[in-house]
Amino acid sequence: MKDLYLRPRKLGGRIDRGNHWSKRPFFLYAAIAIVCAAATAFAAPHIFRLPVTVSLNGQTISVPYGTTFMEAARDHMDTGDLYGRLLAVDDSTIDEQGGAPPDFLVRDRSRNPESAIRRSLDIAVVRGVDKVEDTVTEEVEVTPELIRTGSGPFRHVTVSGRVGLTERTLGELSGIELSTRQLVEPRPVEIELSRVPQSSEASSYIALTFDDGPHPEFTPALLDVLREENARATFFLLGVQVEQHPDLVRRIVEEGHQIANHSYSHRDHRELSFEEQREDFLKAQDLIEEASGIRPTWVRPPYGMATASTYSLYGQEDMMVAHWSIDPVDWRRPGTEVIRTRVVERAYPGAVVLLHDAGGNRNQTVAATRGIIRDLREKDYSFLTVEQLYEHSATLRR
């Protein structure tokens, strides 16, 4: 009981020591005033958005309240000291400021460049690192060398050679070549051009060729003329036309003419990859064979344009290539008589004449063909297919 009694007294003693609180109002107000002053001092810049003094790499500057680290740096530093450069694969500069943005350090800690500065800070600005552009790798065909000998409309591929393949690594943005690596070494393609040798023979042979068909209107009309005039010709067929008119291919063959390949789509082979040329060529071969049962052994590339790659393909496929020796430019429709005269006046033994039975209105060509045959017959010409003319020329050479 005694102990229990004593406890309040002890408490009372403490209260006694607290008797100084009799001066409470003065100290309390002073403390409140100090806290308020400190708070005001601390809050004032924020409340009134007062400019902030900062150090940027040791340079003391004043920036508007809330300026971002990046804005402060842009306003007070050289941009060259901020951003890294974007470099090409050869170390040339693509963009002076295309590299990484700067890093902002406050007491060695990285700060978000877009965060706002609201108080005085000692900021270290570290220039961004340089970036090197990405690279891309591509495989590029290498057209082999083309070695040609002789002259004339017949082209025989004696060495098929090989299309090369190179792997190139280049800068994605600059296109600057970083390195190349040969995957397949190109090998030269050799072709032998020839013509019918001039001879003292009494008979003169000539070959009429018709490109781009078969056409549903002009090819039958032309076949009628050839039948009536008893002349043979060669048709360089376009796969896309064969696909639509296989019956005409059969009629051409049945009437004793030669059929040959003129590609599937008539795209310029110089603009196609080896594989694209191959696909285009083989598609036409297959369609012609499907329609007629005959797989052509002669080809004429679209526009007569072939690269060493084209010849390499033809060599691999064992094709003979037919160019021409007389081109009356019938497809421009210069008039029936003009076409007829151009061919007849330029004709010579062993010539290969280029005409068209499709690809536009060919009524002038059809009409001119009858006159061409009659005029040349009068000059003792006979009409052979391209293949027959080539075989005839081979006989003469022996």
Q: Where does this chain bind Zn ion (CB under 5 A)?
A: 211-212
Q: How far is the CB of 186 from Zn ion (least distance, A)?
A: 28
Peptide bond into 214 cis (omega under 30): yes
Q: Is 130 a catalytic residue?
A: no
Judged by CB, which is closer to Zn ion: 212, or 387?
A: 212
Give the integer Cα–Cα distance in Å for 355 and 160.
29
233-245 as b/e: b if 16+ CB within 10 A: bbbbbbbebbeeb
Q: Are strands 52-56 and 122-126 parallel, antiparallel or unpaired?
A: parallel
Q: How far is the CB of 238 from Zn ion (least distance, A)?
A: 7
Q: At a CB cut-off of 8 Å and minimum separation 6, what does 397 contact?
A: 194, 197
Q: How many CB atoms lie within 10 A of CB 1?
A: 5
Give the integer Cα–Cα distance in Å for 202 and 375.
17
- 211, 212, 280, 357: the catalytic one is 211
Q: Is 357 a catalytic residue?
A: no
Judged by CB, which is closer to Zn ion: 197, or 304?
A: 304
Give the integer Cα–Cα distance in Å for 130 and 99.
5
Q: How far is the CB of 392 from Zn ion (least distance, A)?
A: 25
Judged by CB, which is closer to Zn ion: 201, or 217?
A: 217
Judged by CB, which is closer to Zn ion: 351, or 355?
A: 355
The DSSP annotation for 328-339 comes to: --GGG---HHHH
Give the integer Cα–Cα distance in Å for 59 and 53.
10
The DSSP annotation for 90-148 comes to: TS-EEETT-SPPPEEEETTEEE-TTSBP-S--EEEEEPPPPEE--EEEEEEEEPPPEEE
- 257, 266, 323, 356: the catalytic one is 356
Q: How far is the CB of 318 from Zn ion (least distance, A)?
A: 22
Q: Which of 33, 328, 389 is nearest to 197 (CA)?
A: 389
Judged by CB, which is closer to Zn ion: 160, or 234?
A: 234
Q: How far is the CB of 264 from Zn ion (least distance, A)?
A: 12
Residue nearest to Zn ion (CB): 211
Active site residues: 211, 356
